[in-house]
Amino acid sequence: MDKMDLLMDEMLSLKKWAVVGATSNPDKFGNKIYMKLKRQGYDVTPINPVYDEVDGDVCFNSLKDMPEIPECVSVVVSPKRAIVTVEEAIELGIKRLWFQPGTFDEEILDLAENNGIEIVYYNCVLVEMDHRK
């Protein structure tokens, strides 16, 4: 196993997640990822300032608004919004971010890594969850 596989295994073994970009729209990845984590028994919190709730769960405006700090954060927003997520993660001491394809650029990855955050990128949470059943 390479380092990225080990990191994905580690992240998927953690049970307290947040999904930045969670949505009620079943056609969007923010919903697919949130619902899959929830169905698989994860303690998952939706983060999206547009929604009050997702699937009956209280939806928070940002990571800073969560009552507890998650062990891992799935990032499902545009790079413009993802940079704010990284900044919040640094401020809160969150150590693991999983970027969906298309949610990051080099600046975002550098910022996370330079602040001691473990990151997964290019790999889709949905695909990896299926591979690791």
pLDDT band at 6 (very low <50, low <70, confident <90, very high): very high
Average pLDDT over residues 13-22: 98
Q: Is the pLDDT of residue 36 over 90?
A: yes
Q: Is the pLDDT of residue 33 over 70?
A: yes
Q: What is the pLDDT of residue 115?
A: 98
Structure tokens at 57: 């769960």
pLDDT band at 132 (very low <50, low <70, confident <90, very high): confident
Q: Is the pLDDT of residue 133 over 70?
A: no
Q: Over pLDDT 90: what percentage of the chain? A: 95
Between strands 57-58 and 53-54, the pairing is antiparallel
Name the CATH code of domain 3-131 (choices 3.40.50.720, 3.90.550.10, 1.10.4030.10, 3.40.50.2300): 3.40.50.720
Half-sphere exposure of 19 (CA within 13 A, CB side): 32
For residue 14, the SS3 value is coil
Q: Is the pLDDT of residue 75 over 80?
A: yes
Contacts made by residues 76-79, CB under 8 angstroms, sequence distance 24+: 76/19, 76/20, 76/21, 76/22, 76/28, 76/29, 76/30, 76/33, 76/100, 76/103, 77/20, 77/21, 77/30, 77/103, 78/102, 78/103, 79/103, 79/104, 79/105, 79/108
